[in-house]
Structure 1
């Protein structure tokens, strides 16, 4: 396990550099000039050029990236071009919102997907066919469309849950949870159906094995067989799907946060991209890359916990 963690840490450096290079040069292709946006349409060419020099935008792209990378290696992700705030400060202020959304979505996806998959495998019949249909629907509907639909039906028409807004957990846990129910539902729908289908297929495979028949023949209770043997042996392939779903939820979170007006990293990177605020976009990109690395490492470690025979390197 120690070797695995060291390898992941070394790999994280390479991935962060590669992702930052990709983000930097892709952003350079996006039309727009931060200096012109800051000064407005009435700005003179001379004032725009002076501001570009102050911001370092007149330097070659390689020089700009090299300057940013040196600062990032020291823990300095730069300053926002528009507000002048430290990028690290902006990210840390938004992390609790995005972390709450993704954490709750992960719990819903893992718990509900596992329960539905097991139930479908044990009961089968109509429930299995319904799960197949729901899985196709969940995969076909993008999270932002589901979010808009939930706002229109549940928040606006029925007025059951709030359509927008976020309350910090420390200020009001009840309103924090209430405000995240619809965003979590929109972000979790596709993941729940994918995990449920994978769990059902894995559980059905385990249920068909000889040792399960032996356990039943010796009088072991069905509930014990399902919880102690089927669930444990079916969890490994489903765990991979959960990890992939969590990573994919980062993209969904960007759209969901904008629909529900949540002050998270999704809305931050959207605003920064629109205004061509490159340091902020790079900072959020680095954070997302590190998040993916941590999730993959956690999945590898859980593999070893659930199945000691599995060796990761």
Structure 2
């Protein structure tokens, strides 16, 4: 229940935070020097052409009206047309939405499964295995993502030709091709996430194991596996979930 309440609270706070972030972003964009209409039409455009373009773009209205109009259209999914290409922005985003969501989903799933498993092993087993996992976590956080991506493409795509170098295959066209096209991006994007989740999970599990309720359960004869699986992991999940939210956003 604690995890459900935490997720519900985060979702409730996401609504006002979205409006605050959008308002600040809109304000910062409006403070950028220059005239968007003049930039689109070029330096040879007459003042009448610039004024007409400003009116068409809604730039002649007060900032508050511009923001409310922009937010209202964004909520409806109407993002207008690109000033550079003239193509509808929603269509451009939709074309990139499936690859982005696929990458976020697989990278987050990989970070969750591997990170929690490694963190649990490091906390429970300790010894050489625990120290090895700790060292690998530090190394994983230190490796630059772009360097790892180039290395993976060079080895697994160019040299051994196990995965495609570029491109994306939709899951509806070929599930196997979808996995192959995302394997290297997911590996590069999730390495740092796996190590971060492993470290956070390890610290949270060790902290939970040191609490009084664990000692009480041990004194009552409950097995160590039952205590960890039913109680310790549940208490250690809250900080891990918070970290996974940050990781999912960073994958974008």
TM-score, structure 1 normalization: 0.64
Q: Partners of 1:137 and 1:4 in 2: how far apart?
A: 31
Preserved contact between residue 108 and residue 248 of structure 2 (Cα < 8 Å): yes
Shift of 1:23: 2.0
Asked if 1:117 is matched to 2:119, the reply is yes
Shift of 1:244: 2.9
Q: Partners of 2:112 and 2:11 in 1: how far apart?
A: 26
- Over the residues paired in the alignment, what is the CA RMSD in angstroms? 3.6
- Of structures 1 and 2, the one with the larger relative CO (CA 8 A, separation 6+) is 1
SS of residue matched to 1:130 = helix
Q: Partners of 1:110 and 1:231 in 2: how far apart?
A: 13
1:246 corresponds to which of 241, 245, 248 = 248
Q: Partners of 1:125 and 1:133 in 2: how far apart?
A: 12
SS of residue matched to 1:235 = helix
Preserved contact between residue 167 and residue 179 of structure 1 (Cα < 8 Å): yes
Unpaired stretches in structure 2, ≥5 consecutive residues: none
2:230 corresponds to which of 228, 236, 242 = 228
Residues matched between the structures, number: 246
Q: Partners of 1:98 and 1:87 in 2: how far apart?
A: 16
1:16 corresponds to which of 12, 15, 18 = 18
Asked if 1:171 is matched to 2:173, the reply is yes
User: Which residue of structure 2 aligns with residue 137 of structure 1?
Assistant: 139
SS of residue matched to 1:162 = coil
State which structure, 1 or 2, has the greater radius of gyration over its C-alpha atoms.
2
User: Which residue of structure 2 aligns with residue 210 of structure 1?
Assistant: 215
CA 1:3–1:128 in 2, change beyond 3 Å: closer, same or farther?
closer
CA 1:6–1:185 in 2, change beyond 3 Å: closer, same or farther?
closer
Q: Partners of 2:48 and 2:144 in 1: how far apart?
A: 44
Q: Partners of 1:5 and 1:197 in 2: how far apart?
A: 22
User: Which residue of structure 1 aligns with residue 95 of structure 2?
Assistant: 93
Deviations 1:72-92 (A, max 9, x none): 455533333344444344333
Asked if 1:148 is matched to 2:172, the reply is no
Deviations 1:188-239 (A, max 9, x none): 1111111111222232334444145436xx484x544543344334333323
Q: Partners of 2:134 and 2:9 in 1: how far apart?
A: 39
CA 1:6–1:173 in 2, change beyond 3 Å: closer, same or farther?
closer
CA 1:85–1:10 in 2, change beyond 3 Å: closer, same or farther?
farther
Q: Partners of 2:76 and 2:181 in 1: how far apart?
A: 37
CA 1:199–1:7 in 2, change beyond 3 Å: closer, same or farther?
closer
Deviations 1:121-180 (A, max 9, x none): 222112222222222233334433432333334333443322211111101111111111
Unpaired stretches in structure 1, ≥5 consecutive residues: 254-313
